[in-house]
Amino acid sequence: MDGGGMTKTNYFRVITPIVAVATAALVAAGLLALVGTKPAGAAFQGDNGKITFTRDPDDANNEIYVMDPNGSNQTPLTNNGNVYDSNPAFSPSGTKIAFDSNRDGNFNIYMMDAQDDDKDGNGENLTRLTKKTAEDEEPAFSPSGTKIAFASDRNNLGGNYDIYVMKAKPEGRKNRPKNLTKNTPLAFDNEPSFSPDGKKIVFTSDRQDSDGDIYVMNSDGTGVTRLTSDEAFDADASFSPDGTKILFRSGRVVGDNSEVFVMDAVDNDNDGEGDNMTNISNNPDSNDGFPAFSPDGNQIVFRSNPPGEEYEVFIIDVETKDLARLTTNSVADNRPDWGVAPT
């Protein structure tokens, strides 16, 4: 699920001395040539805190980690044997992480503290939020931290996926997830992410293109607008902190793997594509994806697989264009998200 392959819910998703040599080599190879645009940022603005990501040693035992922005202090927050914990997302305060897991059979949404005080390999105060026999995946906090959006097939098990929203509390009689998309005919609506003001949700869907495109809607599910229409897949979208830009990955460059793009959050010229679209990574030899901006807006974290290697986590400085490799493993590190430093 975390690799570059397309699945039902993911078919479209200061350089330290330790990494300096690898970084220099990757920059020389043209891994990233960031354009000089105004930097966007994480939906949750603030000082830069921890980075969360997934580590998958055997395609079955996926775990969630956190680390410092320079790649140090890599710490597991899940330790569950042969289960799949994935799609970690920080809360606006940087103190909580929502994620999905099949630890109870099917995938459900969970929430835990973003730290492991008792050093048992698990985040504190683990709480299961969804309780259906459906597949609930890809959680995202609202800017207020009071709601969570997620993708689920609970409306038609094994069929279409829709975007749901619920209070950031366990599902129950007084907290029933609301289906925002109710897509007919069958389609996969997934990968939701709130705008900084909480009024919009950007998401991926194959409702008009089997490869998947980026859409935006009001947070109540109305006003759906298509922002990409390329024949290739587009996915992993999220807003900039001012709500004017959308960051995403795409396979639209013919002959390339996926690359990281940024575009305006509007399509003023009505050509079916967000305005001012720019290829950020320009990296045909690797599969770049799952980008997220730092809370201060000065850097981008993403995953990439240098030729002959597994997926690793990288960051790039927007102004200097310095690239830093944060993880180096024989197993896949994937799906990063950058949290705010708790106050």
* Digit-coded pLDDT (tens) for 72-93: 999 999 998 889 999 999 999 9
The residue among 4 and 336 whose pLDDT is bigger is: 336
Mean pLDDT of the chain, nearest integer: 84
pLDDT range class, residue 221, cuts 50, 70, 90: very high
Mean pLDDT comparison of 144-148, 156-160, 209-213, 330-334, highest-scoring range: 144-148
17-340 is classed in which CATH architecture?
6 Propeller (2.120)
With 60 as the cut, is the pLDDT of residue 32 above it? no
Length of the chain: 343
With 50 as the cut, is the pLDDT of residue 190 above it? yes
Q: Flag the least confident range among 10-14, 196-200, 327-331.
A: 10-14
With 50 as the cut, is the pLDDT of residue 96 above it? yes
The residue among 7 and 159 whose pLDDT is bigger is: 159
User: Using CA of residue 76, residue 80, residue 81, residue 87, what is the dihedral sign?
Assistant: negative
Enumerate residues 6+ apart whose C-beta is below 8 A from 100.
85, 86, 87, 107, 108, 109, 110, 136, 137, 138, 139, 150
pLDDT of residue 186: 78
Strands 200-205 and 225-226 turn out to be unpaired
For 253-275, the pLDDT digits (tens) are: 766 688 888 899 999 998 889 99
Strand partners, 144: none
Please report, for the chain, the start and end positions of each structural domain, with discontinuous segments joined by +: 17-340
pLDDT of residue 255: 64
